[in-house]
Every structure is written in structure tokens, then in C-alpha cells.
Chains A and B, each alone.
Chain A
Amino acid sequence: MAQTQAEIVPVLTQRTSRAPKEALQEWLPKLVLAPSFALILLFVYGFIVFTAALSLTGSKLLPDFSTWVGLGNYVRLFNHPNWITALKNLAIFASLYIIVCSVLGLGLAILLDQKIRGEGFLRPIYLYPMALSFIVTGVAWKWFLDPGIGLEHVMHSWGWESFSFRWIKDGKFAIYTIVIAAVWQSSGFVMAMFLAGLRGVDNEVIKAAQIDGASTMTIYRRIIIPLMRPVFLSAFVVLAHLAIKSYDLVVAMTDGGPGTATWTPALFMQKFTFGRNEMGMGAASAMVMMMMIFSIIVPYLYSELRGGRRS
């Protein structure tokens, strides 16, 4: 399906007449957008300001602005071994998760795009994990990865005695098992995004390349995959969002264990705010987390929106 790139001309430059009806038409778009924007201003940015203030207090069970502690929570935060572990884990988890999901999603989409019989059957199989609540699928994963009752046990009972897969029991590797489960949960959705992207590629471009004698590999590497750049970026937004939210997954699989090896910032935030009655600390961790996210997302958004203007 070929798409002509529409030229974006701000429609509002059209305004010349000043009749009252037109004036209304002129304000109407902004009026339509206003409620959403106002809600976001309050419910997102207002609450961020609220959280910022909260992070400077010694709030315990509920917000308490009478106990001002300055940057004390931040100092304690960066001296807390669990927070340091959580940051390391986030780096490992988020980078692996986003990379593996994107590569796997693209790979599967390319393979599925080869006129595969039963595509309509395979696609929902790749997609369904997103529909299941992780409260329970986490248990299934935990069992499957448990050497005593899961995969290793089955391999041994099939006679492969030397088979060993006990990452979930090992503090050094447990975080990778969470990556495995997280990839399982959302790579199908990424696949669907790429599949849609592939189907949007302009056939003319490909035909021209084929006439020039380019091999299939070359066409994918040099033409099609570069065209997927916007999809990579969309996938990035969705995956980054899911990585931040991935709290229930950690709780269901390891609850931060073995020891404290699989703590993540989201787990830290939840446990301190609600489990340990240390709301001030929880707010400080949330602020640090958001600053990190925004420092990655804002430059991307900036370049994207600038790019959009140019085209």
C-alpha cells in the first residue's frame, strides 16, 4: 500500500475573515483539546510537582508536609544497597528487554511476512501473553524455570542428566529470567507493530531494487529495515512504558529475590511507599526514576517532532 506523504500546511494560516462564526471555528479546536490538556496538566504534571514536594519530606504512612527533611531522602536513597541494585537491574533489564523485543519482533514479523500459511493462527499465539494477568502467568513461569519441578526436571527425566538451567535460583542470573518472561509477554505486540509496518512499505521501491538485481537480503538490509525507523521509535515508547510498569512481573516471579538480587526501581518505589510506610523515600525514588526516563525520552521526542515538522 503506497502512501503519499501529505504536505502539512497549518490550516489556521487560512484565517482572513473575522466573522463571529469563523472566530468560533478558530477557537473550537483549542476548546476541544483543552479539557484533555487540562486533565493531563493536573493529573500528570500537578502530581509530579506534588511528588517532588513529597520527596523532600519525611512522610511515612500518608503525605505529611510538616516534616521537612530537605534532600535527606535522596542522600539515603543513593546510600541504600537495594536502590543501587535496582538501578543496575534496570539498566540490564530495560536495555535487554527493549533490544530483544525489538529484534525478535522485527525478525518474527519478517518471517511471518513471507506468505506464511496459518499466519492468522500464529499471530494470536504470539500476541496472547499480553492478555493474561501476570499475577498468575508469573507463577507458571516461576515453576517452568524452577530446576526442581520445571524444565530442568523434565530434561533430566527424559534422560538428559547433564542439562542445567537454574538461573532463577542464582542471584547473578535471576534478572535475566525476568527478561525472558517480559520478552515473552510483550514481544508479540512489537511483532504486530512491525508486521503492520512491513505491509505499509511502498512496493515500487522494492520492485525498482529488484530490477537493479539486489538480493533479498540486501533489499531488507538496505531498504526495508531503514524504512522501519519510525516503528522502532513507536515500539520504544511502548516498551519503555511497559519496562517502567513491570512491577507485577518481578513480584510474581522472584519478589526481588534471591536475596535482594532482582530489585528494580518500580519494586523499590512500591515497597517503600506502601509496604514500608516510607512515603518520602518512595517519592524520592519516583522522582529519580522519572528524571531518568525523561532524560531519555525528551531528546527523542524533540528530534521526532522536529523531524515531523520538516517532512
Chain B
Amino acid sequence: MLRKLLIGTMLSTALSVSYAAPSFAEEVEVLHWWTSGGEAAALDVLKKNLEAQGVTWKDMPVAGGGGEAAMTALRARVTAGNPPTAVQALGFDITDWAQQGVVGDLTEVATKEGWDAVIPAALQKFSKYDGKWIAAPVNVHSTNWVWINKKALDAAGGKAPESWDELVALLDKMKANGITPIGHGGQAWQDATIFDAVVLSEGTDFYKASMIDLDPAALSGPQMVEVFDKMAKLRSYVDDDFSGRDWNLASAMVIEGKAGMQFMGDWAKGEFLKAGQKPGVDFVCIRFPGTQGAVTFNSDQFMMFKVGDANKDAQMKMAAAIEDPAFQSAFNVVKGSAPARTDVSNEAFDDCGKKAIADLADADKNGKLFGSMAHGHANPAAVKNAMYDVITRHFNGELDSAAAAAALAEAVAAAKG
């Protein structure tokens, strides 16, 4: 047994031990980390839809670490030879699993329903592998948003900033008004979320060269030093207690008017709505100054695993149900994100949601839709986390800007291995 383990082409043998469910009814087992509150309730819509078609939904929620715990459980499930039918997954994780040869094939349903025409190409990059559809995208979160407290904005002149200089001027005014200009939580991924936006504000070409193509010259060059300088500048507008704060407590600071604004993905909107605030009235949503017209995104997708013939049909039904425009609308209204397909009516969405849908379509059309580095859609996990290390060390004052740019290039090179 041990010898087998050691020599192990573990997966191929693991899969030959097929997991045969004794029941004849169609069923899907779904591993995901939308485990609490509104987003879990929204997923229930999908479950009900499938049940109406006679497909049983077996729920396997595992939260933690933004999907890390679920991916850990998935490794165990695949190694044991009983992968779930469908698994929530992000960006490069999908590609990584596809390379293991364990994912299913949705091409049949995708062709029938014409996904190619309605799902943005930037998303398809992750939903497809080797020309086959392997995952059904649920949503598009965009991450280069700024959430501003309306009262604080009005007190500081009332004009939403459109450039870096205007942003700095606004932050200065807010500081003078006696509030913390930026509500921020000092966790690596939150630091990286701001970093994403700052890099994007240096131009879409620079974003692509540094974050997606990982060009060493762009990673260590003068423009990257400037990005780090801007990060240091933003750091000066954050309160002293920022370190370790959860993102939603940073949102709470903006909601309560203790802080002026927060740089965060569109899931932050849920906190504002839950606190009874209205977009445009109590808070304002804008794109990070200098990134108008461009969107960095992350997209939750359900990646499908190879299952026995008995459940293939259920898997297809689930994929089709995910791309059902009614579900896309219902789910994303709750989640705060935009639908993954561009032909869904924006009627049910609030002003920020409508703006998100319009921005997404524009960015897609103009080639300015990019995967977010901070959220695992620009480069693989190893590289992303190597970047996190440098960004967060710099943000916490352990490195100066020039040293950070050099360290960034070095860490990326090591992680690319």
C-alpha cells in the first residue's frame, strides 16, 4: 500500500475507484463556500430550480479563507476518488484542476445554449480548458470600486474624485474634517485589492504587463516604484488601528461616518444595504480614480467534475440552470455582483448594480476587462501570494518603495519556479 502511495499516479487510480451512488434519482453534490446569510439564501434559488426538474441537491458547504478550506476539502475528495458533482471555484484554481484531468465537459450544454456569445471572453478564459467548457460562471465581481460616505463627501466639497490628484485632495479635506479618510483593514488580500486598483490606474497596458504577463521589467520598473509610492501615500490616510481589521468592519466605519471611503469589491455593498443605506443617498459608488472604463474582476464559477453517467444529465441541468437569466439576475442582485452573461436585464438592480453591468459590458467591448490579481484571476495562486507578501510588507512599512518593486520581481520569479 505504501509503495503504491509512493510511486502513485494517485489520481488515475483514484478515479478508477468510481463512486457509485446507490440511488437512481438524479442528484448533484455541490461543494461551495457561500455558506451564510444572503448569498447562501440566494443559492437556494438554484437548488429549488433544480428540484423542480427532479434533481436532488446535496449540499456540501465548507467556508474559510476565501475558498481555501473548500479547496483543501476538494483535494481530499478527489484523492479519495469521490469528487463532488460541482465545485465553486475561482480563476486559476479552475485551470489547475483541469490540468489534473479530473474535470467534466459542459460543451454540449454550452453549445446548445450559446454561452460563447453571451459570456465575456475574459471569463471564458477560465471557464474553458483545451477548448472545452468545464465551468459555469455565476457572477462577475468587480474589485476596483470606491465606496464613499455621502455626508463625508458633501462635507469635503461633494465632488467624486476622477483622478489621483482629486482623490488626494479629497482625502486631505476629509482628514481636515476630522475623520479617517480611508476605512481599511490591514489584511494581505485587502492591501492587495487596493494595490490592484492603483496598478490599474497607471494604465491598462501596465496592468496587463505587470499583473498578467508578469513582465520582470514592468514588475521592477519605475512605474512600479510609483505604484508603491502611491500605496505609501494612501497608507498615510489610514487610521492607526487598521491592521488585521476585517473588511466589513472597515465598511462599518464608512457606514457610521467615522471613515470617508473604502476601496473594496462590490460585495461591500451588501454591508451598506444591510445597514439600511441607499446608493446615491447615503453612499456613493465610483470606480477607483484613474480606472474609469476599465474593470478588474473575479468570477465565481461552478466547475464540474467527472461523474458517472447516471449523474451527467443532472450536471448538465445544473449548468443550464446556473446560466438561466432569471437565476443570474436573482442571485446577483443579492450578491452585489454583476451577472456573468451580458444579456441579462438590469431592471432588478440598484444604481450601483446598473453601473456595474454597464461598466462590465463597456470594458469587455474595449478590451479593458482584466482578471484581478488580488482575487486570483490574473496569475496562479503561488504567484498571487508571493505578491501579497511583498505588498503587505511594504504597506506595513517593512520595505520602501524601491526595495518593494525589486522584491516583487524577485518573489514572482521564485514563485513561478
Contacts and interface: CB of A to CB of B under 8 A. Distances in A.
14 contacts: A42-B2, A49-B2, A60-B382, A62-B10, A62-B100, A80-B414, A168-B244, A174-B243, A258-B244, A259-B395, A260-B398, A261-B396, A277-B380, A278-B382
Contacts of B398: 171, 259-260
A307 interface: no
Closest 8 A/B residue pairs (Cβ): A259-B396, A148-B241, A258-B243, A274-B72, A169-B243, A277-B381, A276-B385, A259-B393
B52 interface: no
Contacts of A49: 2, 6
B244 A254 contact: yes
A100 B389 CA distance: 31
Secondary structure at chain A's binding surface: helix, strand, loop or mixed? loop
Interface string B266-302: 0000000000000000000000000000000000000
B229 to A, nearest CB: 18
Interface of A: 42, 46, 49-50, 53, 58, 60-63, 65, 76, 79-82, 142, 146-149, 166, 168-169, 171, 174, 251, 253-261, 271, 274-278
**Size bracket of the B interface:** 35 or more
Contacts of B37: none
Interface string B67-95: 01001100100110000000000000100
Contacts of B380: 277
A146 B392 CA distance: 19
Contacts of B385: 271, 275-276
Contact of B2 (A50, A254, A261): A50
B258 to A, nearest CB: 9
B353 interface: no
A81 B392 contact: no
Nearest to B71: A274
Given A62-B11, A62-B100, A147-B240, A276 B382 contact: yes
A70 B191 CA distance: 35
A76 B414 contact: yes
Contact of A169 (B11, B97, B241): B241
B20 interface: no
B2 A61 contact: no
A168 B11 CA distance: 43
Contact of A82 (B68, B240, B389): B389
B389 A257 contact: no
Interface string B213-246: 0000000000000000000000000011111110
A95 to B, nearest CB: 24
Interface centre among B93, B243, B245, B396 (most CB of A within 10 A): B243
B7 interface: yes
A191 to B, nearest CB: 30
B354 to A, nearest CB: 35
Interface in B1-35: 1-2, 5-8, 10-11
A58 B415 CA distance: 11
A50 B243 contact: no
B343 interface: no
B188 interface: yes
Contacts of A271: 385
